[in-house]
A and B are shown apart, each in its own frame.
Chain A
Amino acid sequence: MIAKGKNASELFPAVVKNVASKNIEIKKLVYVYLMRYAEEQQDLALLSISTFQRALKDPNQLIRASALRVLSSIRVPIIVPIMMLAIKEASSDLSPYVRKNAAHAIQKLYSLDPEQKEMLIEVIEKLLKDRSTLVAGSVVMAFEEVCPDRIDLIHKNYRKLCNLLVDVEEWGQVVIIHMLTRYARTQFVSPWKDDDVVEEYSENNFYESDEEQKEKDRKVKHTYTMDPDHRLLLRNTKPLLQSRNAAVVMAVAQLYWHLAPKSEAGIVSKSLVRLLRSNREVQYIVLQNIATMSIQRKGMFEPYLKSFYVRSTDPTMIKTLKLEILTNLANEANISTLLREFQTYVKSQDKQFAAATIQAIGRCATNITEVTDTCLNGLVCLLSNRDEIVVAESVVVIKKLLQTQPAHHGEIIKHMAKLLDNITVPVARASILWLIGEYCERVPKIAPDVLRKTAKSFTNEDDLVKLQILNLGAKLYLTNSKQTKLLTQYVLNLGKYDQSYDIRDRTRFIRQLIVPNEKSGALSKYAKKIFLAQKPAPLLESPFKDRDHFQLGTLSHTLNSRATGYLELSGWPEVAPDPSVRNVDIAKSAKEWTGFLGKTKKEKPTEKFYSESEEEEGASTTTSASVVFILESESGSESEKEEKEEGSSDESSGSSSSGEESSDSESDGKESTAKKTSRTADESDSEDIKKKAKGISKKRSTSSSSDVETTSSEESSAESKSESGSKSDSESGKSRGATSSKKEEKPVQDTKAPNKQDVFLLDLDDFCPVTTPVAVPTAAVLSPSLTADLEGLSLSSSSVIDVTTQVSVPTKIHELLHRMSGKGLAAHYHFSRQAGNFGDHMVSVQVTVTNTTDQKIENIHIGEKKLPAGMRMHEFNPIDCLEPAGSITVSMGIDFCDSTQMASFQLCTKDDHFNVCIQPPVGELLLPVTMSEKDFKKEQGMLTGMNETSATIAVAPQNSTRLLIIERVVKAANLGVVPSGQDNIHRFAAKTVHSGSLMLVTVELKESSTAQLIINTEKTVIGSVLLRELKPVLSQG
């Protein structure tokens, strides 16, 4: 009955009697009934209170909790004091479940009696200190409801909340993230200042002198460093992007949007695109948010353009939203594909959607001037469409477009005038009339004729059209009064007796204005000016433009109006408030901590698995500890938990800021100094090191991997680090370490290796991907002789490649033969960057052949070759037999004659053959050369003029460190690093494989994150291709 919405209140006493029933199901149902009707029958409801009070003392936590739930759900004002008492008691209950319910009860009590606020805040404060993940979500919810402005309560719990966040249940996560977003906005300085100023400053480029700029830049760079707590929040929310709960993902996305530096916010887009796979409703909300985001920062979603392509089965609202986003993302580069896509949409059966598409085309046309004409032509074609709505919409859009550039479109206007006979949709008719009136001077013959026609049908037109007819008449009267005087008079007369007062008013107004008579002499002089004034072109804007002042992901944003209870996101503070407020009070927290420790001990086996997020904290400030941490994480030791607890309790009594951050910052410093020293040392005696490395590697390859790990943390000499560093990054580092060290023949590579070690030891967590050094060739170093060894170990060797690609420069693997087209035989190739395996002019290529079928594949060899003139190829030895799931790596040499032409050949098996081809990137046609800076300059001096190509590029700000530049450049092309005396100039040298001509690359960093890229070479063609390839490498983020 309750479910049906009928009133069952007359049964109240009979039902409430059952509250003491032993049967839990009945009891629960009585609870349901009570909650529904207690408000109406307060007196009778009081009868049941004593039962609940008894239940509150029950040993079973479930009963305690549910009693509290029901008690607080009965909305009877008289029992407020009882509830208050119960909540206070429950908030210190042993069971976190009961405490959670207490947090819920707070909200209920507050809505019943707001006067209790002060008392409730005390309880909230107490519960906020609770360390149980169960409670966190609920209490923050209560906080948001009762006292969202009491930010001071959060300070002390901020770090704890951040760290617990991952383990809180998903609903709680949403609430906490939203709260923390608001909190962070008030507490931290804007990370955007940096970007904003840089942008602004590139705009000002022309006006300011260089000196000024430099000063300004420096100032900004120095003043802004992100608060470690701010960083903590960003880092801890990042994993939640992977959550299965759409609401959590959205919450994190909005947090990144509102809080993260602009360069980092991009990571959320991938996850948001993922959400588009889920239900219609989720799609709707997510698309709305993406639409807002895509207006401000196009770049975020550009890579995912195709995910927004419309399917014919999508509901209309989704279609229009996708269209909106596509329009927002349109730019010069992708407009042609987009327009092709739009063409399909225009034909859609869903006319509403087709009309929206036309508008979208219109917006693209105004935004991107290159395609305006194409769009216009396309729209004109649409005018002959059979569907009226489509035609009408295109007329309206054309009108807007013509207005923006009316220069030479008389033809279109004529065409549209002809259309007037057929179109019946009022808006479109009105638009045409307006156009003709506005540009009546361009079509002097047609305009009066149109007026004549419309005057005939005046009485049957829509109000909108009538107004435009009047306008047209007035304009014509002014420009061409000879022909149209009578016609206009006639129209005005018709208007005078029209039913609509709007039209009568307009008629009177126009008549007074244009028809000269004695009274209105003054105004009629200006009539022409008034009517034929230049009108500003309308701006075609996204309807989502004005939504950005609402916080993303909120109800208000969806509705585009303030919802009740919406809390404005405050602007960034100018100066960060004192960060020390977040430091935990030592004595107090220590007490709490120990108290909690006792509790968690019980749950320990379960909690252990989730403590990872906090592990870093445990690894305290010294580097030695972080070494321990590495070892631990690798061996997966179960003592992590203990370690963590000790570590963090140490830290809370000792240091004022959390260990994690200080270790980060410290390691930053150390890292850089270590780098410097090791580099200078290594450069001088790189030859020496090379020899040693060879010796050591042999020794190492025999020692066990655990040995290696311990030595890696202890030994400090540069050369051993270069070895063990590369080893400790993979569990099976044994075999790889051996291979890599054997093959590390180039001194350049050796010099880089120590850096890697430093980085690795100090900063396992965050900096690995960023600072990994350059030239340690990974899979690339597997030489043919080694591949033979590895054949037996094909599985383990492949996993080695896997691991190493993660931590060092990934070798780009290209596909030679897809397993689908190869009937189960798959082949991939990469360039091993080695000289001289097959003679001087050959580029060596490693081909990995994999058998994905269930049978053996026999006799794999190279068949017919189709090579361009001059190219030669050194074939690999035929593979006799490839087991199922096995894979073999073979190497072959190709002489590409220093051109990027494809080498096509046939890959044959016993009973089949497949056509494949290898196309070398230009960077692989080079061999690194070592030379000194002096030699470099000398050679460069000889290769000027014709032989020099250069370009200025914008370098992404994070790319401006030396290491990164070297890494990126060497990754893109096989160049050797030339030691450079200046910090801002980086030089690379190489020679082409076939002809041996020198290729000199110079990267000179300038201010305002631009760089000059110069390539000197005899082979100008290759030089310019290389230049083109290097450009994006440096400018990408």
Chain B
Amino acid sequence: MIHSLFLINCSGDIFLEKHWKSVVSQSVCDYFFEAQEKAIDVENVPPVISTPHHYLISIYRDKIFFVSVIQTEVPPLFVIEFLHRVADTFQDYFGECSETAIKDNVVIVYELLEEMLDNGFPLATESNILKELIKPPTILRSVVNSITGSSNVGDTLPTGQLSNIPWRRAGVKYTNNEAYFDVVEEIDAIIDKSGSTVFAEIQGLHVASSNRSDLMRFHLPLCHYLQNPRLLDDVSFHPCIRFKRWESERVLSFIPPDGNFRLISYRVSSQNLVAIPVYVKHMISFKENSSSGRFDVTIGPKQNMGKTVEGVVMTVHMPKAVLNMNLTATQGSYTFDPVTKVLTWDVGKITPQKLPNLKGIVNLQSGAPKPEENPSLNIQFKIQQLAISGLKVNRLDMYGEKYKPFKGVKYITKAGKFQVRT
């Protein structure tokens, strides 16, 4: 299946290569570079490239291209998904998935790749198993290792690999038995010029992190206060969840994996249920034949149940003709990058008494025709302790434990792909 993997940085250097079958020459990447040149923007490099003898499937993550070489028919999503999993693993191990991090830990990277893929077929991709096979680097461990001469590589087969619950190690012990559940909901929306919602949906996920020393089953009845199970449009689960229980009783029953994991993600797409928590008043105009334009944006909170909207950031991709912007913000600070033409306005918290406003003049390239379309505004925000869909975690039952757990669930609502057309 997957023949070789090349890691390429933004400037086009191949800084790591790994072959699982016979060696494929680096020159195969030339096809990739060709496509990259044609695409202008890195975002536009086609994920699948066909060359005379091979097929190149690539992903772009954190300024690194992961280019894999395929020789025969294979579902492309299979490869893409795997490459993302590799990138996730690096992130998990080194805290970031950057070129320097990979170069610094080249030995571990190599061992990881070796374990993850055998003869091009994925072998162990669950991070728990990998962590047991190859321990992640820490400063303390490297000191200890250099003194005692022991190594980072575990010498027993991780039991998870053998069991049917590959997401959990056996015999884990913690002093605190804890499990945290966060409900994160993201609002995806497109709002048109006049302020009406073109498209809105909520993407929710439950992120859980658990440190439990025993195998025990959790029950998490997710009861929306509407008692309307149809509210959740589409659900996707971590493999630890027993699907049958969900189907019959709408209860999530699972043995939690160790560490951080995404328990479920769901979608709420019926538009009238999606309340948009902010509104934007905008006035952007470019004058004909004069090299300037006006820019005036105000953000204000809408129905939000008394919770404050925080962490508001607005980014705008200005048209190419814009040279510079002279703006004043009543709150927060703004930056404009004249190279990428991206305007970023970091607003922070919105107080309803004094609405943040950004106003000023746009300098256009003289002589250039006025841009015909106003740029769309991308907005990010956060609301703590509120799940916008109204979803609540009613209770958490534990089986196999006598003591009563203390319950607390963290809710947070964020903007996902939130776009205002102007």
> Which residues of chain A have a CB within 8 Å of any CB of chain B?
2-5, 23-26, 28-29, 31-32, 36, 39, 60-62, 65, 69, 72-73, 75, 95-97, 101, 104-105, 107-108, 111, 133-134, 138, 141, 166-167, 169-171, 174, 178, 239, 242-247, 250-251, 270-271, 273-274, 277, 279-282, 284-286, 306-307, 309, 311-313, 315-317, 341, 344, 347-349, 385-387, 553-556, 558-559, 561, 563-567, 603, 605-607, 609-610, 612-613, 615, 633, 798-799, 801-803, 805-806, 810, 813, 815, 818-821, 823-824, 826, 828, 850, 852-853, 887
Partner of A69, one of B22, B118, B154, B375: B118
Q: How far is the CA of A280 from the CA of B83 in the complex (A)?
A: 13
Interface centre among B60, B199, B227, B372, by most chain A C-beta atoms within 10 angstroms, is B227
Q: How far is the CA of A820 from the CA of B262 in the complex (A)?
A: 28
* Contact stretch, chosen from B157-165, B177-185, B278-286, B353-361: B157-165
Partner of B119, one of A26, A73, A806: A73
* Contact stretch, chosen from B89-97, B237-245, B323-331, B404-412: B237-245
Whether A279 contacts B59 in the complex (CB less than 8 A), given A242-B237, A244-B239, A802-B229, comes out as yes
Whether A306 contacts B198 in the complex (CB less than 8 A), given A69-B118, A603-B164, comes out as yes
Whether A563 contacts B73 in the complex (CB less than 8 A), given A97-B162, A313-B419, comes out as yes
B305 CB within 8 Å of chain A: yes
Q: Are B59 and A281 in contact (CB under 8 A)?
A: yes
For window 172-195 of chain B, which residues contact chain A by CB distance below 8 Å?
188, 190, 192
Q: How far is the CA of A311 from the CA of B71 in the complex (A)?
A: 35
Contacting residues, chain B, for A826 (C-beta < 8 A) = 225
Q: Are B121 and A555 in contact (CB under 8 A)?
A: no
Q: Are A3 and B17 in contact (CB under 8 A)?
A: yes
Q: How far is the CA of A95 from the CA of B421 in the complex (A)?
A: 59
Q: Are B119 and A349 in contact (CB under 8 A)?
A: no
Interface centre among A96, A309, A555, A561, by most chain B C-beta atoms within 10 angstroms, is A555
What are 30 A-to-B residue pairs whose CB atoms are below 8 Å? Answer: A3-B15, A24-B151, A28-B153, A29-B110, A29-B111, A65-B157, A75-B22, A101-B118, A104-B119, A171-B125, A174-B75, A239-B243, A242-B236, A244-B262, A247-B82, A270-B234, A281-B47, A285-B47, A316-B44, A344-B421, A349-B320, A349-B373, A554-B76, A555-B74, A556-B73, A558-B48, A605-B215, A612-B245, A805-B229, A852-B390
For window 373-389 of chain B, which residues contact chain A by CB distance below 8 Å?
373, 375-376, 378
CB-based nearest A residue for B61: A279
4 tightest Cβ-Cβ pairs between the two chains A and B: A565-B72, A25-B151, A820-B303, A62-B157
Q: How far is the CA of A281 from the CA of B81 in the complex (A)?
A: 9
Q: Mark interface residues in B316-345 (1 if CB within 8 Å of A CB, else 0).
A: 010110000000000000000000000000
Q: Are A104 and B239 in contact (CB under 8 A)?
A: no
CB-based nearest B residue for A177: B75
Q: Are A566 and B118 in contact (CB under 8 A)?
A: no
CB-based nearest B residue for A250: B77
Partner of B46, one of A169, A317, A613: A317
Number of A-B contacts (CB under 8 A): 289
Interface of A is mostly: helix
Partner of B78, one of A60, A138, A247: A247
Contacting residues, chain B, for A605 (C-beta < 8 A) = 215
Whether A36 contacts B157 in the complex (CB less than 8 A), given A28-B111, A239-B243, A244-B238, comes out as no
CB-based nearest A residue for B203: A277
Q: Are B198 and A3 in contact (CB under 8 A)?
A: no
Contacting residues, chain A, for B149 (C-beta < 8 A) = 23
Whether A309 contacts B73 in the complex (CB less than 8 A), given A73-B119, A315-B44, A819-B305, comes out as no
Interface size on B (CB < 8 Å)? 116
Q: Are A279 and B80 in contact (CB under 8 A)?
A: yes
Contacting residues, chain A, for B317 (C-beta < 8 A) = 312-313, 349
Contacting residues, chain B, for A277 (C-beta < 8 A) = 188, 203
Contacting residues, chain A, for B303 (C-beta < 8 A) = 818, 820-821
Interface centre among B41, B243, B272, B378, by most chain A C-beta atoms within 10 angstroms, is B243
Q: Are B156 and A60 in contact (CB under 8 A)?
A: yes
> Which residues of chain B have a CB within 8 Å of any CB of chain A?
1, 14-19, 21-23, 26, 41, 43-44, 46-48, 50, 55, 58-60, 70-78, 80-82, 84, 106-107, 109-111, 114, 118-119, 121-123, 125, 149, 151-157, 161-166, 188, 190, 192, 198-199, 201, 203, 215, 217, 223, 225-230, 233-239, 242-245, 248-250, 255, 262, 265, 267, 269, 272, 275, 303-306, 317, 319-320, 369, 371-373, 375-376, 378, 390, 417, 419, 421
Q: Are B376 and A312 in contact (CB under 8 A)?
A: yes
CB-based nearest A residue for B72: A565
Q: Are B378 and A633 in contact (CB under 8 A)?
A: no
CB-based nearest B residue for A561: B50
Contacting residues, chain A, for B71 (C-beta < 8 A) = 564-565
Nearest Cβ distance between residue B5 and chain A, in whole angstroms? 11
Whether A3 contacts B242 in the complex (CB less than 8 A), given A244-B237, A306-B198, A306-B199, comes out as no
Whether A852 contacts B77 in the complex (CB less than 8 A), given A60-B156, A280-B43, A609-B255, comes out as no
Contacting residues, chain B, for A609 (C-beta < 8 A) = 164-165, 217, 242, 255
Nearest Cβ distance between residue B21 and chain A, in whole angstroms? 7
CB-based nearest A residue for B192: A344
Q: Are B162 and A95 in contact (CB under 8 A)?
A: yes
Q: Are B78 and A174 in contact (CB under 8 A)?
A: yes
Q: Are B84 and A279 in contact (CB under 8 A)?
A: yes
Contacting residues, chain A, for B192 (C-beta < 8 A) = 344
Interface centre among B164, B198, B390, by most chain A C-beta atoms within 10 angstroms, is B164
Whether A247 contacts B77 in the complex (CB less than 8 A), given A555-B55, A559-B50, A820-B303, comes out as yes
Q: How far is the CA of A799 from the CA of B303 in the complex (A)?
A: 28
Q: Are A282 and B77 in contact (CB under 8 A)?
A: yes
Q: How far is the CA of A69 from the CA of B117 in the complex (A)?
A: 11
Q: Are A820 and B74 in contact (CB under 8 A)?
A: no
Q: How far is the CA of A821 from the CA of B43 in the complex (A)?
A: 40
Partner of A242, one of B17, B199, B227, B243: B243
Whether A612 contacts B114 in the complex (CB less than 8 A), given A138-B121, A555-B74, A567-B73, comes out as no
Besides the contacts A4-B17, A62-B156, what 10 more A-B pairs have beta carbons closer than 8 Å? A3-B15, A5-B26, A36-B23, A105-B119, A244-B238, A563-B55, A564-B73, A799-B223, A815-B272, A818-B275
Contacting residues, chain B, for A823 (C-beta < 8 A) = 305-306
Contacting residues, chain A, for B376 (C-beta < 8 A) = 311-312
Contacting residues, chain A, for B47 (C-beta < 8 A) = 280-281, 284-285
Whether A349 contacts B319 in the complex (CB less than 8 A), given A386-B372, A559-B48, A821-B303, comes out as yes
Partner of B77, one of A274, A285, A819: A285
Partner of A828, one of B78, B166, B226: B226
Q: How far is the CA of A555 from the CA of B82 in the complex (A)?
A: 15
Q: Are B244 and A613 in contact (CB under 8 A)?
A: yes
Q: How far is the CA of A277 from the CA of B204 in the complex (A)?
A: 11
Q: How far is the CA of A133 from the CA of B239 in the complex (A)?
A: 14
Q: Are B419 and A28 in contact (CB under 8 A)?
A: no
Q: How far is the CA of A578 from the CA of B140 in the complex (A)?
A: 65
CB-based nearest A residue for B149: A23
Q: How far is the CA of A141 from the CA of B1 in the complex (A)?
A: 9
